[in-house]
Structure 1
Amino acid sequence: MRPLLALGLLFASAPAVQARCLLCARDGAAGGAARQAGIPLRVEVETRLDMGRVAVGAMGGEVEVDPVSGARRVRGDVVDLGGFALTGVVTVRGEPGAEVRVILPASVDLESGHGRTARVTGLVTDLSAAPRLGADGRLQFRFGGRLRIAALDDGDYRGRIPVTVEYQ
């Protein structure tokens, strides 16, 4: 029997908000950009991405949380130890009907209390290709990702996932 070590993960999302440059309008007219910039964007993390608890064997593997279904999938030499896996949930508020762009990093490094690191890749949202704030000036979306775990690595890994939202 292969030894398995517990790996608990919790992600804290740190929102970063950017307003659109009034001098950078694509069509040369700043009127639309000025209207959108009139109400600043506010980004609030409602729920942090949490991969739950898993055990990792000698071959390592990965844990993935799907943003649409919220399902946790394990691959490789990883065993699901239960607990709740949660998709990240973010609420954006701003100019009603405005189109926005949401940017997540390609990867994020997490750290344990013992100085070890793990990397999250494949961060994705459940947003459409051209997301817009609703008539109430609000947009809520979910995000998930994939954590690659080295062989026999254990610990409680934490990190910040920057979420950037801009007016289009």
Structure 2
Amino acid sequence: MSKGVELRLFLGLALLAATPSGASAQCLLCGASESAKTTAGRGGQTPLHVEVETQLDMGRVAAGSGGGEVAIDPVTGVRRVSGDVRDLGGFALTGVVTVRGEPGAEVRVFLPATVDLESGTGATARVVGLATDLGAAPRLGIDGRLQFRFGGRLQVTGSADGDYRGRIPVTVEYQ
């Protein structure tokens, strides 16, 4: 591995809860200790309430000049590094989101294809392959609650170090 640089990543979440009619609300994270919350509903149904329980955190890695990827599996929570990347330890965490709404209702959850992150120095990195641990047709439980985890792959290069942050829009709709 050539000269490595330290890369620490913390991903925030921007949440969208929307209905097919287009009603939506957005919450921008104000701080790491606050939960992100948003609600939206459609006529006659309990409004959706979306809360971030845990932010996605890729942990600490060092990237050589060849770059590589850091992946967090949404089902197992396992962090894997590939390419010219070395795991420096620390805690890697899947993102955890709780949705509350109409008991038994089927919902759709959408994550973007890519998310660009930025460090305090203006350097950028990209997260791709965002995925959840949800099945094909997720439903709120009889208590009106659904909790899911998500992960993704961070593409890194050895060109810049720092804490990379970004917002991941999570869209939840009644089916």
Relative to the length of structure 2, the TM-score reads 0.86
Are 1:72 and 2:79 matched, yes or no?
A: yes
CA distance in 2, matches of 1:73, 1:152: 21
Are 1:3 and 2:10 matched, yes or no?
A: no
CA distance in 1, matches of 2:5, 2:113: 27
CA distance in 1, matches of 2:95, 2:2: 32
Deviations for 1:71-103, whole angstroms, at most 9, x for unmatched residues? 000000000000000000000000000000000
Query: Hey, what does 1:123 align to over in structure 2?
Result: 130
CA distance in 2, matches of 1:19, 1:43: 13
Coordinate RMSD, CA, aligned: 1.4
Q: Is 1:19–1:40's contact at 8 Å kept on the other side of the alignment?
A: no
Amino acid at match of 1:87: T
CA distance in 1, matches of 2:81, 2:134: 24
CA distance in 1, matches of 2:111, 2:12: 13
CA distance in 2, matches of 1:145, 1:132: 23
Q: Is 2:4–2:158's contact at 8 Å kept on the other side of the alignment?
A: no
State the identity as a percent.
69
Secondary structure of the 2:171 match is strand
Of 140, 143, 155 in structure 2, the residue corresponding to residue 136 of structure 1 is 143
* Deviation, structure 1 residue 2: 2.3
Secondary structure of the 1:57 match is strand
Unaligned runs of 5+ in 1: 23-32
Secondary structure of the 2:168 match is strand
Q: Is 2:5–2:158's contact at 8 Å kept on the other side of the alignment?
A: no
CA distance in 1, matches of 2:158, 2:6: 12
* Deviation, structure 1 residue 34: 4.2
**Higher RCO structure (Cα 8 Å, ≥6 apart):** 1
Amino acid at match of 1:44: E
Equivalent pairs, count:
156
Query: Hey, what does 1:106 align to over in structure 2?
Result: 113
Structure number with the higher helix fraction is 1
Query: Hey, what does 1:16 align to over in structure 2?
Result: 16
Of 52, 56, 79 in structure 1, the residue corresponding to residue 63 of structure 2 is 56
Query: Hey, what does 1:30 align to over in structure 2?
Result: none
CA distance in 2, matches of 1:9, 1:110: 9
* Deviation, structure 1 residue 43: 0.5
Q: Report which of the two structures shows the higher radius of gyration computed on alpha carbons.
A: 1
Unaligned runs of 5+ in 2: 23-41
Q: Is 1:61–1:74's contact at 8 Å kept on the other side of the alignment?
A: yes
